[in-house]
């Protein structure tokens, strides 16, 4: 899935981006297909691709040393570790919040306390704050500033962690779901009461599986 998006030409992440809140998109960098589990953040190039794919969704926008530019260097390995730790922490919290029964989806973060601590550390790692720009004769706009290590990839980590705190302390926690389609390890926020699956794909696979079960395992009448 590294082909450029035909519309934007931007290289795509390996992870399935579902239009979920960014902490959920980060959780879903662990995904599965017929070949088993995959980690879209397994290396720094994977992290760089994922950051490029989600960069346009930060509000306010990320500051200027941007992973959005194709030429941006891959983030350093310790930062990729931090992203995986935050991702695993968010997956553990999601598993607790959704009473996730899927063994394949089990997080590498062992328990609640470890996960909460990891989210809090990520919030504090590279915090950013608003910075107003108002050129004489121009229009005011909101930018961001931050303390070192103020790289865009570091700031994005803290911003996603902050959004994770919003997710788990706000109303979206009750709407968070583990996708129960066969083999799926993704999470989604059920914004609409009839949504049962992370994607139409999973809905189709689940319907096929149910159909198969009905017709192949029912005892004869």
Q: Are 125 and 158 in contact (CB under 8 A)?
A: yes
Nearer to Zn ion, 19 or 170 (CB): 19
Minimum distance from CB of 14 to Zn ion (Å)? 16
Cα gap 60→32, rounded to integer Å? 32
* Shorter beta-carbon distance to Zn ion: residue 153 or 186: 186
Distance of closest approach, residue 198 Cβ to Zn ion, in angstroms: 3
Cβ at position 90, least distance to Zn ion in Å: 17
How far is Cα 162 from Cα 219, in angstroms, rounded to an integer? Answer: 52
| Cα 162 to Cα 187: distance, rounded to the nearest angstrom | 18
Which residue, 118 or 181, is less far from Zn ion as judged by CB? 181
Residue 1 Cβ, how far from Zn ion at the closest point, in Å? 16
Q: Which positions lie near Zn ion, rule CB under 5 A? A: 179, 181, 184, 186, 198, 202
Helices 152-169/112-125 angle, 10° precision: 130
Half-sphere exposure of 104 (CA within 13 A, CB side): 20
Nearer to Zn ion, 90 or 154 (CB): 90
């Amino acid at each position: 899935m590294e082909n450029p998006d035909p519309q934007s030409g931007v290289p795509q992440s390996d992870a399935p981006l579902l239009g979920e809140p960014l902490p959920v998109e980060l959780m879903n960098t662990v995904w599965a297909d017929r070949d088993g589990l995959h980690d879209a953040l397994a290396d720094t190039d994977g992290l760089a691709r994922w950051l490029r794919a989600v960069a346009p969704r930060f509000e306010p926008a990320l500051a200027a040393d941007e992973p959005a530019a194709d030429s941006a260097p891959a983030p350093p390995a310790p930062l990729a570790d931090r992203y995986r730790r935050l991702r695993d922490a968010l997956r553990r919290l999601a598993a607790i919040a959704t009473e996730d029964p899927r063994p394949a989806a089990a997080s590498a973060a062992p328990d609640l306390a470890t996960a909460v601590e990891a989210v809090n550390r990520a919030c504090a790692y590279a915090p950013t704050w608003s910075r107003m720009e108002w050129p004489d004769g121009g229009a005011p706009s909101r930018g961001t500033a931050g303390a070192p290590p103020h790289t865009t990839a570091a700031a994005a980590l803290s911003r996603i962690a902050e959004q994770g705190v919003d997710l788990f302390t706000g109303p979206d926690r009750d709407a968070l779901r583990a996708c129960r389609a066969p083999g799926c390890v993704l999470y989604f926020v059920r914004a609409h009461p009839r949504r049962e699956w992370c994607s139409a794909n999973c809905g189709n696979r689940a319907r096929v599986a149910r159909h198969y079960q009905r017709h192949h395992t029912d005892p004869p009448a």
